[in-house]
Amino acid sequence: MTSNPQNSNPEASEEKDSPNVSLNKFADVGLRALMAFVGIAILSTGTTLLREGNVGLDPFTATNTGLAGKLGAGLGNVQLMVNLVIFVLVLLLDRKKIGIGTIMNMVLVGYEIQWFSIIYHQILPNTVNIFTIMTNLVFGLLLFTLGSSLYMGARLGVAPYDAIAPIISKRTHVKYRWARITQDIIFMAAAFLIGGDVGFATIIVAFFTGPLITYWDTHVSEKVMQGITDFSSTPSFRTAGKQLVNVGRISYYVVRHAYELTEKTQRQLSNYTDQELDERIEMTRNRSKQLSQVYENTQKQLRLLQGEADKRAK
């Protein structure tokens, strides 16, 4: 029988058990779960647009629509069953891939596509034409990739299907990209053989959505995560209010400055020579880059200052 060792750092223990630490962790996980939930809803909306535009779905969902048609069952039930099978395999092979986001994705996506499809038909009944096809393709891909970026950016686990390629890559030492492409091709072929919703968008999703997801990561998901981190460090209505005020103030000045420049440009537009017009285009492009850099640097400075203030307040 061994005795319990004495705690050599009481302050660390007190800090660990502090209600503030628990509250911070609760706020962080809760907000990230909300981020994942919103991302999954956006992803499902994008998938619904692709489905209703008859342009094809991502390989996994396309396979499930084919199975649903063969079995005469709803997409939500079929997708959940297939996800459960893959989930068990992921649980056995690499449970670190599993989190709250995993459960939300595997349970919600199929049913949300069903629900959103009903709403879609109520708003736009029998309107499949070249215009709706192209519109659904563009907005479907944008929303699908944005939703994917948000739910994965929350870092609460990935969908069972998305965990397959990383596990294969790790165990076989094959590059992730090739493991994922092979996985998508297999599911795409299976979807085609059983009559799933395979089309032009299926190929795009399987091979070309990476750059779009990266774009959303940089411009949306990472900023949302930074906001969650900043708020969770001192979770209070005051902190949230400060962040909203800062965002509002920056947005106001940027919009006002842009409006003034735009109005001035419109007044002088007809007086520019071709050379002056080219110079103004280049100058405006450079100013846009500079403003983006200034904004990013300002946010970094704000986080550093806030972090130092939080340390001193403890």
140, 144, 146, 150 alpha-carbon torsion, rounded to 10°: 150
Q: What is the pLDDT of residue 12?
A: 46
First to last CA, the chain: 39
Q: How confident is the model at residue 81 (pLDDT cuts 50, 70, 90)?
A: very high
- CA-based nearest residue to 44, from 127, 151, 122: 151
Residue 156 backbone dihedrals phi, psi, to 5 degrees:
-120, 30
Residue whose entry in the numeric block shows the structure tokens 């998508």: 184
- Identify the burial level of 64 via C-beta atoms within 10 angstroms of its C-beta, where 0-12 means exposed, 13-18 middle and 19 or more buried: buried
Give the rounded percent of residues in the chain with a pLDDT score beyond 70: 67
* Residues 173, 310: Cα–Cα separation, whole Å: 43
Query: How would residue 114 be classed by pLDDT, with cut points 50, 70 and 90?
Result: very high
Span 276-292, mean pLDDT?
64
- Could you read off the pLDDT of 203-224 as tens digits, one per residue? 888 888 888 888 899 889 988 8
pTM: 0.67
pLDDT of 244 strictly over 70: no
3-class DSSP state for residue 274? helix
Model confidence at 234: pLDDT above 90: no
Whether the per-residue pLDDT at 312 is higher than 80: the answer is no
The pLDDT of residue 97: 86
Q: State pLDDT tens for residues 2-42.
A: 444 444 454 444 444 444 555 577 778 888 999 999 999 99
